[in-house]
Amino acid sequence: MARLFIDEGLRQNFLSAPKKIGAENGLNLVEIEDLKAVLPEEITFFAETLFWKRLRETEKMLPLTREFLKDDFVQLFREFSQDFNPQTVKKHLEDAIEFCKFMQKAKVSEIVKNIAKFEQTKVEFFGYGKHFAVCRLDYDIKEISHQSAKSQRKIIYIWIKIGNKIKHFSF
């Protein structure tokens, strides 16, 4: 049932043929009838509410990616969220990390892929309480401005946690 609220295509198919699509996705007759009783507008509203909540939480964790992509962030996250449903208790963290992985495979600029890789490493380091993280990039994140980079320069970012202190290096 969770897929019904996340996958827009599945939701539209269910609304047009509830018994067939419900059965194909493992719903029993009672569940199908219960979902049919809910107005399509309510199902769509609830699904959109879930999408926007996921988006806002992901934006908070990926501020550089959000700033760089502007409105394209929403479009790309919508595409990503159609096929990904977080499974762990850290759903927002999982969304952010998997969205970064999605971005690195998507048809986006190399600069965007580098920003996503940087933020993925950073989110994993802080979100999972790691003690060490390394990220090798083709662009210096500090040199990237909106839609461009001053130069392509290989750089390595390192995060280290010793006790309660965190150090960040780049070279």
| Segments making up each domain of the chain, as ranges | 1-38, 39-170
Q: What is the pLDDT of residues 15-35, one digit of tens each?
A: 889 999 989 988 899 988 888
Token pair in block for residue 6? 């996340």
From residue 30, alpha-carbon distances to 16, 41, 112 in Å are 18, 20, 46
Q: Look at residue 148 in the predicted model and tell me its pLDDT.
A: 65
Q: Look at residue 101 in the predicted model and tell me its pLDDT.
A: 98
From residue 94, alpha-carbon distances to 12, 55, 56, 63, 115 in Å are 26, 12, 14, 16, 17
When pLDDT is cut at 50, 70 and 90, the band that residue 135 belongs to is: very high
Contact (Cβ atoms closer than 8 angstroms) between residue 160 and residue 121:
no
Q: Which residue has the higher pLDDT, 37 or 92?
A: 92
Q: What is the pLDDT of residues 92-133, one digit of tens each?
A: 999 999 999 999 999 999 999 999 999 999 999 999 999 999
Q: Look at residue 111 in the predicted model and tell me its pLDDT.
A: 93
Q: Determine the Cα–Cα distance for residues 86 and 80; give it in Å rounded to an integer.
A: 12
pTM for this prediction: 0.77
Query: What's the full length of the chain, in residues?
Result: 171
